[in-house]
C-alpha cells in the first residue's frame, strides 16, 4: 500500500452507517428534509445496489534460483521441478456503477497490472469485467460488465464544486474485505493539494471511516449522487484515523467521458505554460495581501496560452470564475474543462486585473513519439524512449517547452535502472553526438564504442556521465 507522508494508504472507501436502536421501528421514506436528517437509510438503499466489490488477480512466473544451475547443489535439491513455478497476486477494491449499460469506475491502483478482474454485485452475483480505460494521472480506471446485455442500477454524478465544508456525506465500500459497508461523515476540507496523490490534486477530505480494501468506493451526498471516489487515507497505523481523500466527481466525469467515447486514454485541454507557486516572498514583491494563485514562469510558443496573450509574470487567480489557490488547483480546474470550447482566466498583470480567453484544445502529438525499447548492451538497455511532443510533455507533466528524446519507462532490474536513469530524463548527447530522435538514440546504443559519455537533462539541469 503506497505511503503519503508517514503512511497514506490507497484503499477502497466506505462510510459505515451507525446502527440505530434495536427496537422495531416503522420503515418509510422521509417526507421532509428534517425527517431525512433522522436516518440515512433511504440514501443507503438508493446507493448500495450501484456499489460493487472488485477482485483482481494476475499470475507471475517465479524466477528460477541460480543455485539450482550448479550441478553440486542439484545433487541435493534436484532441478527445482517440485518448487512452485508461479504465484498469484491479488487485489481487492471497490467500484461504482455509473451507467446502466455497465460502466464501472474504480481506482487505477486496484487494477494496475492485473490480468483478470471480477465484479461482485450487491445481489451476490459475480461477473467478469473488462478494463476499458485507465488513467494513472488521476488514479482512475473504467471497467465494463455485462457486455450490454443487462440494465444495471447506477449512480448519477453530482457537482463536486457545489460541496461545502460541513456537508454530510456517505461512503460505501468493502473495508478489509469484510463485505459491503456504509459509513457517515462530513466534508472536512475541499481542494486538498500538495499531498503527492496524483497530478491533478484537488481532493475532497472527509472524516468518514475509510480503511484498506475500499479503494474506488462511492462518496455520495444526501441526494444519493456520486460526488467523489474514495482513494486514500492519511494514517500512521494503516487504519482509519478520520482523514480520508476522495477524487471529486467533476474529475471523474472527464475520465468517464473519454471512456464512453471509446478512447484508450483521457483527452485533456492543453494550456502550454509553466507555472510556479506563489511564496510569501513573491506575494510581498507583487504587492499581494497573501500568497495565492498560480504564477506563469514561461509560455510555450504556439500554445493556447501564448495565443490567448498569457505572459510570463501573469498571476492566474481564477478559471471561469472559480478561484485558484495554487498551481495544483489551476491544474485541476483547467483539466476538468471540456476540450473543444474555451475558458476565461482571471489574471493579475502588474497589479491590474485582466481576463483572457483560452481555447480548450488537445495538445498535438508532433513529432510522433516513435516509442522504442532499447535492447542489446548499452547504458540504455531496458529503457523505453520516445520523442517529446506537446502531448507527451503534457502527459508526463514536464516543462511546457521541452523537446528531444525522453525516457518514458524503465524496466525493473535493467542496465538503465542500475545506472541511475530515471523516467522523465531527456537524453541530449551520446558520445558528444546530439540526440534528436529515438532513431538517433537507438543507432547510438547499437554502436558499441569503447566507452560511453552520456549527457541528460533532469529537472532543468544537464548531467554528464561516463560509463
Find out whether 147 and 132 touch, Cβ atoms under 8 Å: no
Q: Is 139 assigned a catalytic role?
A: yes
How far apart, in whole angstroms, are the C-alpha atoms of residue 449 and residue 467? Answer: 11
- Determine the 3-state secondary structure of 41 from DSSP: helix
Cell of 340: 473543444
Q: 297 an active-site residue?
A: no
Q: Which residues are within 8 A (CB) of 429 and not within 5 positions of it... i.e. 6 or more apart?
A: 435, 453, 454, 455, 464
- Catalytic position from the list 9, 188, 215, 378: 215
A 10 A CB-CB count for 401 gives 16
The Cα 438–Cα 388 span in angstroms is 10
Tell me how far apart the alpha carbons of residues 220 and 212 are, in angstroms, rounded to a whole number. Answer: 19
Rg (CA), the chain: 25
What are the Cα distances from residue 445, in Å, to 373, 378, 415, 441, 451? 11, 6, 12, 6, 11
The residue from 9, 91, 94, 109 that is catalytic is 109
Rounded Cα distance, 369 and 183, in Å: 46
Cβ proximity of 332 and 201 under 8 Å: yes
Residue from 157, 174, 198, 149 nearest 56 by CA: 174
**Main-chain phi, psi angles of 77, to 5 degrees:** -110, -5
Q: Which one of the listed residues 135, 139, 207, 425 is annotated catalytic?
A: 139
> In DSSP terms, which residues pair with 394 in a beta bridge?
none
- Cα gap 400→329, rounded to integer Å: 18
Listing DSSP states for 404-447 in one string gives SEEEEEE-TT-HHHHTT--TT-EEEEETTEE--SHHHHHHHHTS
**How is residue 420 written as a grid cell?**
541511475
Listed in sequence order, the residues at least 6 apart from 301 whose beta carbon sits closer than 8 Å to its beta carbon are: 401
290 given a catalytic annotation? no
Tell me if the bond preceding 421 is cis, omega within 30° of 0: no
Helix orientation angle between 327-335 and 249-260, rounded to the nearest 10 degrees: 40
Q: Which residues are catalytic?
A: 109, 139, 215
Amino acid at each position: 500500500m503506497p505511503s503519503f507522508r508517514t503512511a497514506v494508504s490507497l484503499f477502497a472507501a466506505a462510510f459505515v452507517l451507525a446502527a440505530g436502536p434495536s427496537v422495531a421501528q416503522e420503515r418509510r421514506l422521509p417526507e421532509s428534509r428534517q425527517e431525512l436528517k433522522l436516518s440515512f437509510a433511504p440514501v443507503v438503499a438508493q446507493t448500495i445496489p450501484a456499489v460493487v466489490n472488485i477482485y483482481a488477480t494476475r499470475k507471475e512466473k517465479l524466477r528460477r534460483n541460480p543455485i539450482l544451475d550448479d550441478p553440486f547443489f542439484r545433487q541435493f535439491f534436484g532441478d527445482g521441478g517440485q518448487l512452485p513455478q508461479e504465484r498469484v497476486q491479488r487485489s481487492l477494491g471497490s467500484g461504482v456503477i455509473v451507467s446502466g449499460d455497465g460502466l464501472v469506475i474504480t481506482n487505477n491502483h486496484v487494477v494496475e497490472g492485473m490480468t483478470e478482474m471480477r465484479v461482485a454485485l450487491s445481489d451476490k452475483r459475480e461477473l467478469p469485467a473488462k478494463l476499458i480505460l485507465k488513467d494513472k494521472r488521476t488514479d482512475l480506471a473504467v471497467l465494463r460488465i455485462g457486455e450490454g446485455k443487462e440494465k444495471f442500477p447506477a449512480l448519477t454524478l453530482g457537482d463536486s464544486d457545489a460541496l461545502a465544508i460541513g456537508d454530510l456525506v456517505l461512503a460505501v465500500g468493502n473495508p478489509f474485505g469484510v463485505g459491503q459497508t456504509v459509513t457517515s461523515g462530513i466534508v472536512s476540507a475541499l481542494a486538498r493539494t500538495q499531498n503527492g496523490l496524483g497530478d491533478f490534486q484537488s481532493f475532497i477530505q472527509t472524516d468518514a471511516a475509510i480503511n484498506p480494501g475500499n479503494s474506488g468506493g462511492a462518496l455520495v451526498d444526501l441526494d444519493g449522487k456520486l460526488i467523489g471516489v474514495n482513494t486514500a487515507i492519511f494514517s500512521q497505523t494503516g487504519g482509519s484515523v478520520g482523514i480520508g481523500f476522495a477524487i471529486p466527481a467533476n474529475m471523474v466525469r472527464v475520465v468517464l467521458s473519454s471512456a464512453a467515447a471509446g478512447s484508450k486514454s483521457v483527452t485533456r485541454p492543453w494550456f502550454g505554460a509553466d507555472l510556479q507557486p506563489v511564496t510569501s516572498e513573491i506575494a510581498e514583491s507583487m504587492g499581494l495581501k497573501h500568497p495565492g494563485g498560480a504564477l506563469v514562469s514561461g509560455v510555450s510558443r504556439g500554445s493556447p496560452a501564448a495565443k490567448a496573450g498569457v505572459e510570463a509574470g501573469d498571476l492566474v487567480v481564477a478559471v471561469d470564475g472559480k478561484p485558484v489557490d495554487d498551481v495544483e488547483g489551476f491544474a485541476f480546474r483547467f483539466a476538468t474543462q471540456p476540450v473543444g470550447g474555451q475558458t476565461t482566466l482571471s489574471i493579475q498583470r502588474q497589479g491590474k486585473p485582466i481576463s483572457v480567453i483560452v481555447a480548450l484544445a488537445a495538445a498535438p502529438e508532433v513529432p510522433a513519439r516513435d516509442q522504442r525499447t532499447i535492447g542489446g548492451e548499452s547504458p540504455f538497455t531496458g529503457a523505453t524512449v520516445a520523442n517529446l511532443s506537446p502531448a507527451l510533455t503534457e502527459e508526463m507533466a514536464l516543462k511546457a517547452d521541452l523537446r528531444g528524446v525522453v525516457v518514458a519507462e524503465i524496466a525493473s532490474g535493467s542496465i538503465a535502472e542500475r545506472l541511475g536513469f530515471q523516467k522523465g530524463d531527456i537524453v541530449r548527447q551520446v558520445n558528444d553526438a546530439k540526440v534528436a530522435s529515438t532513431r538517433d538514440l537507438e543507432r547510438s546504443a547499437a554502436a558499441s564504442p569503447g566507452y560511453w559519455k552520456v549527457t541528460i537533462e533532469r529537472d532543468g539541469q544537464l548531467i554528464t556521465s561516463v560509463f
